[in-house]
Amino acid sequence: METIKLNNGIDIPLVGLGTYSLKGDICIKAIMDASDVGYRLFDTASLYDNEGAVGEGLRRSGLKREDYILITKLYPSEYDRAKAAIDQALARLKLDYIDIMMLHHPSYNDLDAYRAIEEAIASGKVKMAGLSCYYRKKIDYFLPHCQTKPVLV
């Protein structure tokens, strides 16, 4: 699978499996099938209500944890309790860490949520941070306030 180097030097596959509409056994099977044909990047979010199935599919795939990249996202309704939401995502996924934790959309309290991701990076719960669905103007405002540069924007 072709990769691209992120701004922190980590290689990430150019193609991954998005799981927005996948639920339950269908999600588990899709993850396993995708891993069988070479996928090593998987994307989910708390909003998708499938993190548990994604984690189960990854465990059943037989892939070693270090051999794939998992992205999940916090939704604005979780930003006020981002630390707990990160722990809940890890519990649903049943993983030791999340590769990339993203903020799903801008919101009035997204800087606080991003700081919680930075703390999770410092503690080893999360490896990298990112932003999803941010407009250029918001990104230009947001980035100077970050200690950890997002790897995906």
- Beta strands 69-74 and 17-18 are unpaired
Marked catalytic residue, from 39, 48, 79, 134: 48
| Catalytic annotation present for 39 | no
In this structure, are residues 108 and 137 in contact, taking their beta carbons and an 8 Å threshold? no
Residue 11: count other Cβ atoms within 10 Å of its Cβ: 13
Q: List the catalytic residues.
A: 48
